[in-house]
Structure 1
Amino acid sequence: MRLTRHRRWAVPVVAAAAVGLALTACTGDIANEEAADVDCADYEAYGTFDGAEVTVGGTILDLEADRLNESWADFETCTGISVEYQGSSEFEAQIAVLAEGGNAPDVGFVPQPGLMNRLAAGGWLIPASEPVEANADEFWSEDWKAYGTYEDTFYGAPLMASIKGYVWYSPAEFEEKGYEIPKTLDELTELSETIAAEGDHKPWCVGLESGDATGWPGTDWVEDYMLRLHGADVYDQWVNHEIPFNDPQVAEAFDAVGEYLKNEDMVNGGIGDVSTLVTEAFQTAGLPILDGACSLHHQASFYETFWNPEGGDENTVASDGSVFGFLLPPVNADDPLSVTGGGEIVVAFREAEEVEAFRSYLSSDTWANNRVSLGGVISANKGVDPENASSELLVQSIEILQDPETTFRFDGSDLMPGAVGADSFWKGIVAWVGGESTTQVLDTIEASWPAS
């Protein structure tokens, strides 16, 4: 595989009346005989291919990976392209090494714009084709498109999205005990202290373990507090290193989070003491809520999938169901809505017509609605019908992302250079909950920031 920068793979954009955006390099009959059982009208624009294969890598695993495969099954049938997806919890740590060695998959679902920038700077990425960029312009905001852009070159459209500031809880417990949804951060503290004082269980359950990425759920806490305590401008200065990582405002956010994560009275409900935060997998950490062993769990909208890991519906996500979520509240009840979130950027490592056909499909409203309808996720694609979402909470999440009044900021660690956002920040969280002081941890992270 060439390790130099590649030219843009240009494809003509068809007339707006056509369904989707055409990739005209391949023509002919539908290769897959199963197409007779599928309505292929939505897929005609992508062309037909005889025995082509596209390999895909990412961090998405288990049930979510199964739903991914289902989301493009009709595309495979109608275009003749076989899509082979392989998920790995070590994807972020390994992808640059694979790319440098010429062994990267054809397509990568990169969950960090900072990592995408590193891959682009290495000359390993193929710029997005015109149909992909046209979809990004039509279906995403300028901010979202910017996350897939490096040095004025557009490399990939977003895929899915998440809102990271949810606090999951049991509606039945709240009703039984008379708890109110907190409207401010002070009210959240009061609620937590009330639950702790009752003595039945620790109020919060937390899991930071995630393989090579252990620590990232803790960074989400800090990012939520940075945005709420100091606002979007300071948040932007922080992730762009216009203020140092050991700035007093960052320390304030860490210490506010520490009132929960480093407090034996607050964690780790149903699991153990503070030390278990770094050994408990993030996928299972919230489940003690279902047993009444904790009351609160901070995790993104995508956590809906983990309440029913086998794909059943025994634990309903609804305001009157088994579990539901409220957004981490603001400092003041009348503050404008500000949320952090994340997503994936669909990048390509191989220049091929079938790769761009697949990327064009993933950037469309057709794919976004197909995947959202399968459950458990949301998308910031403006062509998504919120009612296609699988729960009341996810409908709300899509509406929040589509609301022009919402202040949205991408996950801070995902925007930072990989040496920080995917290394020292994660490791710093682990050291911090393990006993290191805020000052020690912030100084160490600041020292890791690349000089240029």
Structure 2
Amino acid sequence: MRNLAARRIRTGIRTAVSGTAVLGLALTATACGGDSGDSSGGGKQTLKGQSVTVAGVWTGVEQKNFKKVLDAFSEKTGAKTSFVSTGDNVSTVIGSKIEGGNAPDVVMVPQVGVLEQFAEKKWLEPLSKEVASRAAADFAPVWKEYGTVGGTYYGLYFKASHKSTVWYSPEAFEQAGVGPAKSYQDLLKTGRTLSDSGVPAFSVAGEAGWPLTDWFENIYLSQAGPENYDKLAAHEIPWTHPTVVKALTTLGKLFGDKDLVAGGGAGALRTDFPESVEQVFGPEPKAGMVYEGDFVGGLVTDQLKKKVGEDAKFFPFPAVDGGKAPVVSGGDAAVVLKAGKNKKAAMELVKYLASPEAAGIWAEAGGFISPNTKVDLGRYADDTARQTAKSLIDAGDSVRFDMSDQAPAAFGGTQGAGEWKLLQDFLRDPSDPKATARKLEAAAAKAYRK
């Protein structure tokens, strides 16, 4: 049984925040302090001869950049490190590895619900007092709360994301004579103008379900408000609630318009996330915009060799029906498995990940935001990354965490099941929002009972 009382405490302390105001803040490179502070091992090779295996969802450029962090840890401590990609089904893969006696030492958990599931299954080691102390000193309290289950601190949030950004091609916008949208209605109008100019509005990544949940969450937070968002995240209101049907209806107007979605629903369902970015910023553009988080910037820079801020720009996800512009976040938490064979080295790695030094390595590589307030903004690869990083830090406890990441994994975090699958079905045919809401509620009720 999930601890819904604890969830109410976590969700109850957060309030809505205007994405437009937050993203428009002036930047000061020293606002978040420097990269001072000790880091694991102190350069004395204290873990020489030991090894740490880390598992996580990252592939491609994200995996490459995280390995730079692991390499720095190895150089500092002497520990050997390796990374194993789990794919999106983190819970299933890790469960299988534990049962097979081949558990990794550290897992980078991408959903709050999965972290809670791991804790409830007694798979996790509590994080050390040193890690907890660093988290309390250098992170907004909300991030430690997200990593806490039943009063025990299990997960250190190393990587965060700002999931309320719409990325666009300045060239496509200039040719169509349009600018960044200020409201959701303006967004649709801009999209149709782009289509009239010969470029479909959006490339939608429908091949995996998680980008579709992010679409829904931004619309729902703005349209239904933060109180309803918190209730739905805790399943205190059903997915058949009128606010859910209204949000699905709003989303369906975009998903069901073939002038707004490149390739229509069928094409979007064959488009994975990296491809959705390439369709906007690649050599043969197929759309003018792509919605997703700040991590789009990493793909633009590293995979497509384009300049963020010049070849690729973004604007805040616009307010819906007069609500406030949403700010939805997500993150990956480092946890230590009890079944791992190298728990001492694993805990030292998590301590290192809590340092501004570790975060700064990936920040320089791009496609990364740290919730660590001590990371020097000057470490980020470009002005856009600095802007989104500062906005997340300044939002503090007012950030709303990705709703699907708060849900049980069976509902909000499993490929081909639950919310991911049902929103893919909705992308294919968005004609009946009420029916989709009923299916979502049936899946949620089953998952939350466990």
- Shorter chain as denominator, the TM-score bin is 0.7 to 0.9
Matches of 2:134 and 2:43, distance apart in 1? 13
Tell me how far apart the structure 2 counterparts of residues 123 and 405 of structure 1 sit (CA, whole Å): 30
In structure 2, the residue matched to 1:97 is 96
Deviation at 1:439, TM superposition (A): 1.9
Distance 1:46 1:129 in 2: 21
- 1:236 maps to 230
1:347 matched to 2:331? The reply is no
2:13 counterpart residue number: none
Match of 1:280 among 248, 258, 271: 271
Shift of 1:55: 0.4
> In the TM superposition, what are the counterparts of 1:245-264 in structure 2 within 5 Å?
245-264=239-258
1:181 maps to 180
Matched, 1:363 2:362: no
Q: Label 1:119 to 1:46 Cα distance change in 2 as closer, same or farther (>3 A).
A: farther
SS in 2 for 1:70: helix
Output the amino acid matched with 1:324.
K
Task: Work out the number of aligned pairs and report it.
Answer: 402
1:374 is the counterpart of 2:365: yes
Measured at CA, do residues 131 and 178 of structure 1 come closer, stay the same or move farther in structure 2, by a change above 3 Å? same
CA contact (8 A) 2:223 2:247 kept: yes
Out of 17, 38, 48, the position equivalent to 1:20 is 38
Letter in 2 for 1:403: D
Distance 1:387 1:50, change over 3 A: closer
- 2:170 matched residue in structure 1: 171
Which of 441, 445, 450 aligns to 1:446? It is 441
Distance 1:90 1:237, change over 3 A: closer
Once the two structures are TM-superposed, the CA of residue 273 in structure 1 deviates from its matched residue by 2.8
In 2, are the aligned partners of 1:340 and 1:411 still within 8 Å (CA)?
Answer: yes
Matched, 1:203 2:201: yes
The code of the aligned residue for 1:132 comes to: V
> What amino acid is the match of 1:83?
T
The 2-side partners of 1:204 and 1:215 are apart by 16
Q: Shift of the alpha carbon at 1:166?
A: 1.3
- Residue of 66, 69, 74 corresponding to 1:71: 69
Structure of higher CA gyration radius: 1
1:8 aligned partner: none
Contact 2:164 2:293 in 1 (8 A): yes
**2:384 pairs with one of 393, 396, 405:** 393
**1:46 and 1:443, CA in 2 relative to 1: closer, same or farther beyond 3 A?**
farther
Q: Report SS of the residue matched to 2:81.
A: strand
Q: 2:156 maps to what in 1?
A: 157
Match of 2:32 in 1: none
Amino acid at match of 2:191: S
Q: Distance in 2 between matches of 1:244 and 1:80?
A: 51
Q: 1:303 aligns with which of 283, 296, 300?
A: 296
Contact kept, 8 Å, 2:222 with 2:324, in 1: the verdict is no
Secondary structure in structure 2 of the residue aligned to 1:194: helix
Amino acid aligned to 1:61: T
Counterpart Cα distance in 1 of 2:151 and 2:312 = 43
Aligned CA distance change for structure 1 residues 336 and 402 (closer, same or farther; 3 Å): farther
Distance 2:88 2:43 in 1: 35
What TM-score comes out, normalization by structure 1 length?
0.84
**Counterpart AA for 1:20:** D
How far off its partner does 1:359 sit? 0.7
User: Does 379-388 or 353-362 show the bigger shift?
Assistant: 379-388
The equivalent residue for 2:31 is none
> Hey, what's the Cα distance between the residues in 2 that align with 1:21 and 1:78?
9
The separation in 2 between residues aligned to 1:46 and 1:228, in whole angstroms, is 50
Q: Greater shift after overlay, 412-421 or 388-397? A: 388-397
Rounded to whole Å, the distance in 1 between the matches of 2:74 and 2:39 is 17
Q: Alpha-carbon deviation of 1:391?
A: 2.2
8 Å CA contact 1:206, 1:297 repeated in 2: yes
What SS does the corresponding residue of 1:285 show, helix, strand or coil?
A: helix
Provide closer, same or farther for how the CA distance between residues 218 and 180 of structure 1 changes in structure 2, counting only shifts above 3 A: same
CA shift, 1:332, in A, is 7.0
Counterpart secondary structure, 1:200: coil
RMSD across aligned positions (CA): 2.1
Corresponding position of 1:59: 57
Task: Please give the alpha-carbon distance, in whole angstroms, between the structure 1 residues aligned to 2:44 and 2:241.
Answer: 50
One-letter amino acid matched to 2:183: T
Look up the SS of the partner of 1:161 in the other structure.
strand
Contact 1:96 1:119 in 2 (8 A): no
Alpha-carbon contact 2:37-2:355 (below 8 Å) kept: no
Q: Map residues 302-341 of structure 1 onto 2, 5 A cutoff.
A: 302-310=295-303, 313=305, 315-318=306-309, 321-331=310-320, 338-341=326-329
Deviations 1:383-414 (A, max 9, x none): 12222211222111111101147841111100
Instruction: Provide, for residues 39-81 of structure 1, a one-character-per-residue CA deviation record: whole Å limited to 9, x for no partner.
Output: xxxx418870231000000001112211111123232122111
Task: Tell me what 1:141 maps to.
Answer: 140
Provide the C-alpha distance between the structure 2 equivalents of 1:100 and 1:61, rounded to a whole number of angstroms: 24
Aligned residue type for 1:80: G
Change in 2 beyond 3 A, CA 1:126/1:438: same
> Could you say what secondary structure the match of 1:431 adopts?
helix
Letter in 1 for 2:435: Q
| Shift in CA distance, 66/286, structure 1 to aligned 2, threshold 3 Å | closer
Give me the identity figure in percent: 28
> 1:47–1:232: structure 2 CA closer, same or farther, 3 Å change rule?
farther
- Please, what TM-score do these two structures have when normalized by structure 2? 0.84
- SS of the equivalent of 2:332 reads strand
C-alpha offsets along residues 88-119 of structure 1, whole Å, 9 cap, x if unaligned?
32452422332344432100000001001111
- Return closer, same or farther for 1:46/1:345 CA change in 2, 3 Å cut-off: farther
Structure-2 change in CA distance of 1:73 and 1:21 (3 Å)? closer
